[in-house]
Amino acid sequence: MPFDGGFLHKITQEINALAGARIDKISQPGRELVVLTLRGNGANRKLLLSADATAPKVHFTTQSLENPKAAPMFCMLLRKHLGSGKLLRARQQGLDRILRLVFETVNELGDKVETSLICEIMGRHSNIILVDQGGKIIDAAKRVDFVTSEVRQVLPGMTYTPPPAQSKKSLLEISPQEMAAAIRAGRDIPLWKAVLEQAEGLSPLVCREVSAFVCGSADLTPSQLTPQQTERLVFFLGTVATALGEGCGTPTLVQDPAGRYVEFSYLDLRQYPEDYELQHPESFSALLDRFYEGRDSRERMRQKTAQLHKSLCTLRDRLARKLTHQRQELLDTGDRQKYREWGDIISANLYRMERGDRVLRAQNFFSETGEEIEIPLEPTYTPSKNAQKYYAEYRKAATAEVKLQELIAKGEQELIYLGSAIAELERASSQEELQGIREELMSQGYLRREQKQKQRPVKLPPLRYRSSDGFLILCGRNNLQNDQLTLREAQNYDLWLHTQKIHGAHVIVVADGAREIPDRTIEEAAVIAAVNSAAGAGAAGPVGAKVPVDYTHVRNVKKPGGAGPGMVVYDPYRTALVEVDFRRAEALREK
């Protein structure tokens, strides 16, 4: 977990720089998320406190988060006890991930008291706890009773006790030489693990950075360090201690080749390959804002779309099972010819049969060898009716074959459409895009249309990109917009692109008069198509994997009769193989 005690120490310094500011507003956008708007020095800053197990954190934010219509009870309690309170100080417990925000407030008697908001950043045990001046718990974002934990309870009225401290040493309290000696005296395990065991508040990321500086790519233990390497260990531990100091440290973001932020730290990291990009935002809070912005928005969208995604996946899986059964039935109808032959053989042998016979043994005159076969009979039927029964089975199978072929073709088209709708849902990044997908599904009968809508849904324009050669590139956000873009707005000699046999957006390169579209623009448009497809949803697939993207002129793209939204056919076409490169696509996007 990159948000270690050292990083919390840097955030604590940023918060203390705003000491004296007053609380202007308190909101709770999520069950485990609180935002305090602090007013100081003529400006407002939003302090975000999150106890979410997937991303617990504390930092200033510039994001605008959507609040529920009715404030939750914990939010109302915070407003009662902290409203208009003045921030006195932020205090961290050593280098542990526990932050106490102390506010000067006024109690019911009009006396000034100190009320604390304690943020425990500890994975799934994270919490936000409101504590009075006497150390009593007023309430918490997550109440912990005896059933949840027998070790430590967090309930209103109980005295607040911090989690048990770890037996580690802090670089804020001992020298780098003493820390190096403790590491050498500890277990003889790989160096980064030895540092992790001894040093308080250092994440595995920072410990690996220590090991990389001391040992390079070698995986050495403390006992294997040479005197020179031991000196390097002391030096780098001193570098870490210095970075923890006031006004020191370097906000560092690590971005992988696919454009995803993968790590962050208060050190200038050097352990990553050259194709990883290091970014240095202006502050540690700005770093966290950038790191979590995409991740948090995706998580919020995932929560908002979870039920719809589950319903569509259930429909898709049910349809896939139904198609499997129908294909098996179609195979079975291929054996229908035997029923007609059996009817003919029975008709030719009526003189040998009587009511009550269960089997007819007769020569198979349809076979080249003329062997004798056994035909099952219904004993309650007359010989003639048995022949008619097999003729009826033959006609039924022939009719079923035609009908099954129609049903399978229709089901396969529906399966493709459901797959594309699911891919759209996974790519959705805003409430407006989600509403557009809902509108599409309602128009196709997959969702019930709401009888009363307070306002008409906002129609979003296509995503806009600009190629390095100056060509405008448009990308549909959903299937209805794909149809609008390709079949109505694009011109015959515009270039159309789509991932081959992969659900994705329609991409249009707008032809610029008589100019021929250059290969570089085609490649960039193909990358955009790959990013805005199922191959790019959630950065699926290995980094550097090649994705086939078909391209042709718009005049070659047709919509079959009865096809669902976004479904087209095209011929002739060419195919380009490109990487899913989010960084490159984002650089081309028009802001």
Residues 161-180 have a mean pLDDT of 91
Residues 21-34 have a mean pLDDT of 92
Phi, psi of 130 (to 5 degrees): -95, 125
- Give the per-residue pLDDT at 451: 58
Q: What is the rounded average pLDDT for all residues in the chain?
A: 88
Q: What is the pLDDT of residues 192-216, one digit of tens each?
A: 999 999 999 999 999 999 999 999 8
Specify the length of the chain in residues: 591
Element (H, E) at 361: strand 359-363
- Give the per-residue pLDDT at 68: 83
Local structure of residue 142 (DSSP, 8 states): S
Q: Return the structure tokens found at 333.
A: 């109808």
- Give the per-residue pLDDT at 46: 94
- Give the per-residue pLDDT at 542: 47
For the CA atoms of 123, 128, 133, 139, the dihedral, rounded to the nearest 10 degrees, stands at -120
Count how many Cα atoms sit within 13 Å of the Cα of residue 207 in the half-sphere of its side chain.
25
- Give the per-residue pLDDT at 25: 94
- As a whole number of angstroms, the distance between CA 474 and CA 462 comes to 6
Q: What is the pLDDT of residues 93-121, one digit of tens each?
A: 889 999 999 999 998 888 899 999 999 99
- As a whole number of angstroms, the distance between CA 268 and CA 589 comes to 29
Q: What is the pLDDT of residues 450-481, one digit of tens each?
A: 655 555 555 788 999 999 999 999 999 888 89
- As a whole number of angstroms, the distance between CA 470 and CA 60 comes to 38
- Give the per-residue pLDDT at 512: 77
Residues 182-187 have a mean pLDDT of 93
Q: Return the structure tokens found at 503.
A: 């659900």
Is the pLDDT at 284 greater than 90? The verdict is yes
Q: How far is CA 100 from the centre of its chain?
A: 32
Is the pLDDT at 299 greater than 70? The verdict is no
Q: Could you tell me which residue, 321 or 432, shows the higher pLDDT?
A: 321
Q: What is the pLDDT of residues 530-577, one digit of tens each?
A: 999 888 764 444 445 689 999 999 999 999 887 888 889 999 999 999
Is the pLDDT at 523 greater than 50? The verdict is yes
Q: Could you tell me which residue, 390 or 368, shows the higher pLDDT?
A: 390
Q: What is the pTM of this model?
A: 0.65
Please identify which residue in the block is written with the tokens 């915070």.
78
Element (H, E) at 400: helix 383-427
- Give the per-residue pLDDT at 539: 42
Q: Report the SS3 class of residue 254.
A: strand
Is the pLDDT at 246 greater than 70? The verdict is yes
- As a whole number of angstroms, the distance between CA 495 and CA 62 comes to 39
Residue 296: band (very low, low, confident or very high) from pLDDT cuts 50, 70, 90: low
Q: What is the pLDDT of residues 144-155, one digit of tens each?
A: 988 888 888 999
- Give the per-residue pLDDT at 455: 53
CATH number for the domain formed by residue range(s) 5-140: 2.30.310.10
Q: What is the pLDDT of residues 221-233, one digit of tens each?
A: 999 999 999 999 9
Helices (H), 334-382: 337-348
- As a whole number of angstroms, the distance between CA 73 and CA 200 comes to 36
Which residues are 460's β-sheet partners?
A: none
Nearest by Cα to 192 from 220, 164, 161, 226: 220
- As a whole number of angstroms, the distance between CA 445 and CA 425 comes to 17
Compute the 3-state secondary structure of the chain and give helix, strand, coil in percent, each to the nearest 5. 40, 20, 40
**Phi-psi region at 108: left, alpha or beta (left = phi > 0; alpha = psi -120 to 50):** alpha
Q: What is the pLDDT of residues 43-97, one digit of tens each?
A: 899 999 999 888 899 999 998 887 888 899 999 999 999 988 999 999 998 899 9
- Give the per-residue pLDDT at 540: 41
- Give the per-residue pLDDT at 298: 64
Nearest by Cα to 460 from 526, 505, 525: 505
Residue 240 near residue 267, CB atoms below 8 Å: yes
Domain-wise residue ranges, the chain = 5-140, 176-280, 331-412, 463-588
Is the pLDDT at 249 greater than 90? The verdict is yes
Q: Report the SS3 class of residue 261.
A: strand
Element (H, E) at 287: helix 284-333
DSSP E strands, 422-506: 463-466, 472-475, 495-499
- As a whole number of angstroms, the distance between CA 184 and CA 390 comes to 89
- As a whole number of angstroms, the distance between CA 408 and CA 399 comes to 14
Which region among 47-61, 246-260, 479-493 has the lowest average model confidence (pLDDT)? Answer: 246-260
